Amino acid sequence: MNKKLHALLLISVFVVATCGLIYELIAGTLASYLLGDSVTQFSTIIGVYLFSMGIGSWVSKYFEKNIISWFIQLEILVGLVGGTSSTILFLVFENIASFRIILYSLVGITGILVGLEIPLLMRILKDRYEFKDLVSKVFTFDYIGALLASLVFPLLLIPYLGLVKTSYMVGILNVGVALIVCISFKKEIKAAVYLQTSAIISILALLVGFVYAGVITNFSESLTYADTIIYSKSTPYQRIILTKKGKVLRLFLNGNLQFSSDDEYRYHEALVHPGLQALPNARNVLVMGGGDGLAVREILKYPNIRSITLVDLDKGMTGLFKSNHMLLNLNKGSLLSPKVKVINADAFTWLRQDKKKFDFMVIDFPDPSNYSVGKLYTNSFYTLAKAVLAPGGIMVIQATSPYVAPKSFWTVDTTLRSVGLHTIPYHNYVPSFGEWGYIMATENPVYKKPTVFLPGMRFVTKESLDLMFYFPKDMAKVKTEVNKLNNQVLVKYFEDEWSSVL
Amino acid sequence: MSGRPFYKSSELVNGLSRRSFMLKAGLIMTGIFLGGCIRKLNPKSAYKNIKGNIKGPNAKAGHILRDKLPLPTPTSTSSVKTLIIGSGISGLSAARWLKKQGYHDFELLELEDHVGGNSHSGKNNVSAYPLGAHYITIANNEDTLLTGFLQDCGVITGFENGLPVYNEYYLCFDPEERLLINGQWQEGIVPDFGLNAGDKAQIKKFFTLIDELKKSKGNDGKYAFDIPIDNSSADDQYRALDKITFKEYLHQQKLSSVYLLWYLNYCCKDDYGQGIDKVSAWAGIHYFASRRGKAANAESNAVLTWPEGNGWLTRKLATEVSAHTRKGNMCYSINYNQQGKVVAGIYDVAKSTTSIIVAENVIMATPQFVNQRLFKDTINRPVDYTRLNYSPWFIANITVNRLPQGKGAGLCWDNVAYDTPSVGYVNAGQQTVKLTDEKRVLTWYLPLCNHEPRIARLAAYTRTYEQWMDIMMPELEYMHPGIADAIEKVECWVWGHGMIYPAVNYIWGENRKAAQLPIKNNLFFAHTDLSGISIFEEAFHQGIRAANQVLAIYGKQQNI
């Protein structure tokens, strides 16, 4: 055997070692990105990985003949599994809750395969070196490879390629080793052509993955969620993310918290009952926004309500809250009630067409953090809303925090008044959000505080209502402009007020 | 001095300019042609995936006029009391006014298959979009003719404390405009981000000057700068400003900040299709100092716009007179018969047949370069047609499925990059109340003012779609790196004669006055080239003025 081949095999050791460590780093990084808590994730991943390598080493003794051929096949397999691992993990992460099982299985498989590599290589090389030289050379290259991997991974690969592309690239390197070994030893192995072809096909497949890696996902968002993400989906309108920690579910739209299951009752009770309890004869209700069905759940508690029309832009949102069992538990299947009609439409456009009248209206849009949503808080929108409010009816608007964003809150009030509505602002404390504000609006000053509420309320009572209607000095009314389509002052106030907090 | 030497030198100048025109035109055409060839040799253009087409006004019909192509003999003759030729805003406005005054015996002729002239618009499955003029500002409150129309079509919904209330769906939605400057998008187009105190002071000085001029009245008690232009003061103190370029004026005022000069040059390009070195100082100032509109529910100078731009206003004007409108019919000649009536030769573009319309009187709502060809040698006017200059424009409607965002302010209605050839793009979907998905149509405007208009026009007609992409894409990529991948379609539109521009001495010179004069009290003229600036308001008033001239014949003129 010539010197060239010696060098080649040792380079293989080096590459194999580098790739092996990178797979481990990829799995650890991915797990801490997606699941949070990097100490736990890295520890468990490294543990599982090393243990799996041990299994691989132990299994290696059962490979008796055609070691080179086995080694080549092994390399191809490592390249394929390792190369596609991050893609697989990203894809399954979007869809299933048992993500950890897949994660650790993949880490285990990769570990076993990588664990097989070095023992097999040593056996290929065993007749070509003295034992002491062999051990010295193989482990030297192994550890140098490890050093290289641990340096290029954080400094070059992640910043420039990202996780997914890095996986594919390392996979290609692995299969590349297989291909080179295959070509160099073609006289010593059977079925060299078959192995060579599989190696080339695998490299091509990985190359395709490398090129299209950008499409797979932008995982950086995962960094911002502290809890386990159990569901994430991009609809044409927004990114929906559902997280879970212990028993607490949280829903985020475009990164903004919409509710937390442990205290959402405070928000939805406050949103619905002060208004609806005052309308014992209410029949038809309109809910705009609120595709989570939680406000609808509260409304359905009133037997006098005959129909609820829910207008939410996003089918992805209402669909999720009609089907996921955890969420159905939370909203009591409200969106499936025969009284509820779900319309997936743009609220502004929908409202511009002629409508029947509603006795009670819940306007529960996301906060006015951009110009698109800001339009739903304008005088033009409230003019349309007023037109569908039945005589004596009440509408209630979620109006951001009067404590953090008093100008924003009172802008909603000013804007409602500018179209000739009478307003009743109020607020309560929702731990996840802080001090939160709502505004009821009526055509005539007819609102009377209810004194009795439905049984089973956890927050709203006659006494708490008195507190809710009282605005202490630090949330007192401020003078603001009217929010219009052609000035969008609310978005500017909102941006200013919240940017100083967040 | 007699007139003779003047004529001679003029001929000489014409001869010289003709030769230099041929030379320049030749060089530029060769350049474009060679560029096209090289491009074909190297088809690996970065923009080869971008699909679309180039359209423009009916060139075939235009060439019949220009090249005096032989036409079939007329097969029929009809008559009408009043014939309006051209259904741009001037023609539509004239027709509307006649009808509003109870005068119905008129016909409105249009060579295209649509009305509206350069307020034309288009539509695809993402949005309607403008193909030309795309906004107006709120009306000057004294301009009751205009506010009356705006009330008729629901743009003004009522009055509060004497001020008009504008329909808030038509007032430009916020955020209105942004400028990419010094690496960042700033709010507003007046340069500010990264400017030093000296530049900022000059910009402030300019606007103080404008505030003064806005209020100024001449010795005749009229506003120095008004809309329509002919309502402006005759005071020579102001009219003298028409005799120098805007650039010279700014130099005289010691305004030299490059940022300010860029901004004013941009404004002139935006409104007139030419820079500060070409338009007169009077016109340059008019852009800023003539708009004093106040509203109950919007700021002074607020913009009114629609997805299809002024195509919306076109539709409102056109529906009232649709029964009188004949599209696809081009007037190719105007003569007088022995009874002194006006005889118009009409070419039916679709059928390729001709007919004759005999009219008591005619409103020529056509640009003067067209009138020159219609009149041929039979009707002479004391007008030097060569002094009327028209800016060519290129407009691209770009459908994107997302918009890569840079640093600073987000997408606005009007989006401009500092120191680029174009005047930026408008977001056609600005006036939608929907929470839009990422698909949008952006309307990109490029005034072709790098060469003199006739050369730029010829060059524009010669360029291929790919060559337009080579011009447009680098600028778009500069504004939004990576946008090439987000583009689904680019629909191009070339206006050879996009709009008149107010060259030095045109607005208050003899030529414009002469061009406005009726002939034999039965041939009247209405077009923005008779105002010198091409804005909706001028066209609107041009139409009413000519219609009133017709009504006066029958003793129907209203005192307004």
Q: What is the pLDDT of residues A401-443, one digit of tens each?
A: 999 999 999 999 999 999 999 999 999 999 999 999 999 999 9
Portion 409-428 of B in contact with A at CB < 8 A: 410
Give yes or no: residues B418 and B524 share one domain. Answer: no
pLDDT at A235: 76
Q: Is A235 on the interface with B (CB under 8 A)?
A: no
> Percentage of residues in chain A with pLDDT exceeding 70?
93
On whether residue B510 sits in a domain, the answer given is: yes
Q: Can you give the pLDDT at residue B528?
A: 97
Q: Is the CB of residue A444 less than 8 Å away from at least one CB of chain B?
A: no
Are B379 and B513 within one domain? yes
- What distance in Å separates residue A17's CA from the closest CA in chain B? 38
Please enumerate, as own/partner, the contacts of B553-556 that have beta carbons within 8 Å and a separation of 24 or more.
B553/B360, B553/B361, B553/B521, B553/B522, B554/B103, B556/B101, B556/B102, B556/B103
- Are residues B472 and B453 located together in one domain of the fold? yes
CATH of the domain at B257: 1.10.405.10
Q: B78 and B217 share a domain?
A: no
pLDDT the model gives residue B12: 43
Q: Residues of A with CB below 8 A from B169's CB?
A: 380, 485
Residues B516 and B376 in one domain: yes
Give the span between the Cα atoms of B161 and B66, in whole angstroms.
54
Closest partner residue to B174 among A236, A348, A486, by Cβ? Answer: A486
B436 in the same domain as B541 = no
In this predicted structure, what is the pLDDT of residue B2?
A: 35
Residue in the block written with tokens 């003064």? B212
- Is A465 a residue whose pLDDT tops 50? yes
Assess whether B337 and B480 both reside in one domain.
no
Does residue B295 form part of some domain?
yes
* Cα B203 from Cα B335, distance rounded (Å): 53
Closest-CA residue in chain A for B171? A486
CB spacing of A485 vs B175 below 8 angstroms: no
**pLDDT, tens digit (0-9, with 9 covering 90-100), for A240-299:** 888 877 788 899 887 788 999 999 999 999 999 999 999 999 999 999 999 999 999 999
Query: In B, which residues are within 8 Å of A380 by CB distance?
Result: 168-169, 433
> What is the β-pairing status of strands A307-311 and A340-343?
parallel
pLDDT for the residue numbered B21: 67
Q: State yes or no: ipTM above 0.90.
A: no
Q: How far does A127 lie from chain B, in Å, by closest CA?
A: 55
A364 is catalytic: yes
The span from the CA of A371 to the CA of B65, in Å, is: 50
- Identify the helix (H) or strand (E) that includes residue B128: strand B128-130
Average per-residue pLDDT for chain A: 88
Taking CA atoms, B357 is separated from B438, B491, B522, in Å, by 51, 37, 14
Report percent pLDDT > 90 for chain A: 50
Cβ contact, residue pair B410, A370, below 8 Å: yes
Residues B374, B360 share a domain: yes
- Chain A residue with the nearest C-alpha to that of B303: A486
A/B interface, count of CB pairs below 8 Å: 54
The Cα B391–Cα B273 span in angstroms is 5
Question: For B433, which of A236, A375, A379 is closest by C-beta distance?
Answer: A375
What is the pLDDT averaged over residues A67-78? Answer: 88
Helix, strand, or coil (residue A427): strand
Q: Nearest-CA residue of chain A relative to B302?
A: A486
Inter-chain residue contact A486 with B437, CB threshold 8 Å: no
CATH of the domain at B402: 3.90.660
Does residue B314 form part of some domain? Answer: no
Q: Tell me whether residue B11 is in a domain.
A: no
3-state helix/strand/coil string of B210-264: HHHHHHCECCCCCECCCCCHHHCCCCHHHHHHHHCEHHHHHHHCCCCCHHHHHHH
Q: Are B278 and B367 within one domain?
A: no
* Identity at B490, one-letter amino acid code: V
Token pair, residue B333, equals: 């000649």
CA dist., res. B91 & res. B315, Å (int): 13
- All residues of chain B having their beta carbon less than 8 Å from the beta carbon of residue A313 are 435
Partner-chain residue, chosen from A236, A346, A485, that has the shortest CB–CB distance to B169: A485
Contact A348 B433 (CB under 8 A): yes
Whether residue B360 sits in one domain with residue B230: no
Residues of A with Cβ-Cβ distance to B435 under 8 angstroms? 237, 313, 346, 348, 372-373, 375
In angstroms, the CA A465 to CA B48 distance is 65
- Which is nearest to A79 in space by CA: A165, A169, A180? A169
Residue B65 within any structural domain of the chain: no
Show the low-confidence residues of chain B (pLDDT under 50): 1-15, 558-560
> Does one domain contain both B484 and B512?
no
* Containing structural domain, residue B266: 135-174+193-305
Residue B468 lies in a domain: yes
Closest residue to A488, CB basis, from B174, B302, B433:
B174
Local structure of A485: helix, strand or coil: coil
Identify the weakest region by mean pLDDT among A106-115, A203-212, A222-231, B323-332: A222-231
Among the three residues B479, B500, B521, which one is the final residue of a domain in this structure?
A: B500
Instruction: Look at B410 and A488 and tell me if their CB atoms are within 8 Å.
Output: no
Residues B87 and B232 in one domain: no
Domain endpoint, select from B249, B277, B305 = B305
Q: What part of B 431-450 touches A (C-beta under 8 Å)?
A: 433-438
Hey, is the C-beta of A370 within 8 angstroms of any chain B C-beta?
yes
Q: Is residue B126 part of a domain?
A: no
With contact defined as beta carbons under 8 Å apart, do B560 and B547 qualify?
no
Among B171, B436, B438, beta carbon nearest to A486 = B171
Q: What is the pTM of this model?
A: 0.76
3-class DSSP state for residue B63? helix
CATH number, domain of B354, equals 3.50.50.60
Asked if residue B532 is part of any domain, the answer here is yes
A276 to chain B, closest Cα gap in Å = 29
Q: How many domains does chain B have?
A: 3
Closest CA to B55 of B398, B444, B424, B465: B465
Name the active-site residue from A364, A367, A413, A474: A364
In a mutational test of the A interface, the residue from B306, B435, B440 whose CB has the highest number of chain A CBs within 10 Å is B435
Last residue of a domain, one of B500, B517, B534: B500
Write down the pLDDT at residue B292: 94
pLDDT tens sequence across A146-169? 899 889 888 888 777 777 888 899
Q: Which residues of A touch B413 (CB under 8 A)?
A: none
CA distance A24 to A107: 7
